[in-house]
Amino acid sequence: MATGSQSLIVAAFDFGTTYSGYAFSFKDTPNDVKTNKNWYAGSGKLISLKTPTSVLLNEDGEFDSFGFDAEDKYSSLAVDGKHHGWRLFRRFKMVLQNQRILRSATVEDLEGKTFPAKPIFTMSLKYLQKHLLDALSMSKNGTRETDIRYIITVPAIWGIAAKQFMKEAAIEAGIVGNRVKLALEPEAAAVCCEALGHTLAGQKFMVVDIGGGTADISIHEKQSDGSLKNIHAPSGGPWGGIYVDANFIAFMTELFGTIAINALQRKDMYDYFDMIRDFEVKKRKFGFDSQTDITFRIPMVLKEILYEQHQSLSDRLESLKYGKRVFTRGRDKIGVDSSIMHSWFSDPVSKTVNHISSVLKEDQMKDVGLIILVGGFAESPYVQQRIKEELHGKQVIVPGEAGLAVLKGAVMFGHKPDIISSRVMDYTYGISVWGNYDEKIHPAERKVYQDGKWKVKHFFEVFVRINQEMQVDSKVTNFTYPTSEYSVIKIYRTRDRDPAFTNDPGCELLGKIRIENDKGIPLKEQLNKTTFMFGDTELHIFCDNVMNGKVETLTLDFTK
């Protein structure tokens, strides 16, 4: 079976908040990455290297279409009033931003009705896989699905539960579990930039991946052997391009009213998506130094609803606070002063810039001289200019097709996953055990007399500490003696570097491993070995009984 560097083909899915796509390359030419062909919006105004992360379900709740096709079909149904019962889901990836994601998590369709999240993710991955397989059949005869190693990109700042959620969705989509691996988005971008020949040798550099939903930051140092050493725990936040879009929609709602915008979404979907796509084109061109008015076409239904309310657009504008900064242009357009467009960008970009600055001020980061900007939102002139303007003394590189850097890098990473040699831990991890009581450090009320000794319960046995560097695939083990027929190993994490007890504030129970001990051997003669494997994009924890050879693996509990 194809695994790791033995795979004949590596294919990557960049499952984004706003747009998704795929790419692949063959084992003999790993850096010759082929991406899907251009996707076209129905109106033809927007040509994209990715397609919207949108899923359309039919009246029976079954998958119908994905991407531009899904949006355009729903629009067509809405024009004829036939869309009732059909459900369109857009930009649902952000539900996984929640650190406490549950298997019962739901997402909302365009009308605000909920649906289980997992099937929507699974349908999306299944569609991308089919599209990929069709492209491969055209590209090379004799290609088998079992020849493929799959890589799925995820934000580095995602929690363990979100990563496992995505992995499970891939498996439910029919992708065999041992042929799918997660890649952290900014790390994949770093691999791409390194492969493209940017001079990184001996340098510490920051990758800022700004997509639709998140700004995701990682910092690396290129080693003499060509590998990339991660030197800072992943960081970032929900500061992507969708927040500029949200500010635009809020502005349009202020101009025309909630009733009008809701009616536009329900009755005139073509016009609604045309408005969104038109804004996307303007957003991609807008610069930090732009001083020219921006013109937006107004869907006629918005003006009609105003007329029904006995208002003209001119009267409406006069009643608002914008003065001459917003004005009508002809019958179906409005002009907007550049200062308003600036305000839509300001908050999310400021949060990204401020976060980058705070990270670079840390003592061990002061010699990071290079910033590489990638991701769809990083292609924005405004974003590029703001970062260059406010981060004096830092070299800023924006590679060509920055929006595809993560996707291409993920493919390269799949051929050579050991190119990331080490990572910095984002939490302190350990287990709950009985510890020996130490009167110098433990409160007296914690001590319990057991087996002839004073002990403390819920002692945090640390396996690895926050900000500790761990080599990829490094192992940390701990041995415990069982005290009953079944042993339950409780796995905890915390942001505290030196936790004392697992029930201290800030300690989080990740999950439990339950292992059966040997009934025919005295418990005191048995030994359980718990092993943490660190440094990978996913956390692997397993426990085995040394005497009987039984092994159990940690699976996170998403049910609570």
Could you give the residue range(s) of every CATH 2.60.34.10 domain in the chain? 425-553
Mean pLDDT taken over the chain: 89
Question: How far is the C-alpha of 36 from the C-alpha of 24, rounded, in Å?
Answer: 9
Q: Which fold has domain 425-553?
A: Substrate Binding Domain Of DNAk; Chain A, domain 1 (2.60.34)
Could you give the residue range(s) of every CATH 3.30.420.40 domain in the chain? 4-191
Contact call for residues 482 and 526 (beta carbons, < 8 A): yes
pTM of the model: 0.85
Query: Is it the case that residue 124 has pLDDT exceeding 60?
Result: yes
Query: Is it the case that residue 2 has pLDDT exceeding 60?
Result: no
- Region of poorest pLDDT, from 284-288, 293-297, 544-548: 544-548
Give the Cβ contact number of residue 396 at 10 Å: 16
Sign of CA dihedral 336, 337, 339, 341: positive
Question: How far is the C-alpha of 270 from the C-alpha of 45, rounded, in Å?
Answer: 12
Class of domain 4-191: alpha beta
Mapped onto helix, strand or coil, the DSSP state of residue 553 is strand
Question: Crossing angle of helices 269-285/258-267, nearest 10°?
Answer: 110
Contact call for residues 121 and 169 (beta carbons, < 8 A): yes
Query: Is it the case that residue 209 has pLDDT exceeding 90?
Result: yes
CA distances to 272, 310, 337 from 334, rounded to whole Å, are: 16, 19, 10
Mean pLDDT of 471-480: 87
Give the Cβ contact number of residue 310 at 10 Å: 7
- 329: its two tokens: 């242009």
Q: Name the DSSP class of 201.
A: B
Model confidence over 55-76: pLDDT tens digits? 999 999 999 999 999 998 998 8
CA distances to 47, 87, 150, 187, 207 from 41, rounded to whole Å, are: 6, 19, 27, 30, 30
Q: Answer left, alpha or beta for residue 289, where phi above 0 means left and psi between -120 and 50 means alpha.
A: alpha
Question: How far is the C-alpha of 456 from the C-alpha of 13, rounded, in Å?
Answer: 48
- Region of poorest pLDDT, from 42-51, 240-249, 534-543: 42-51
Mean pLDDT of 146-150: 94
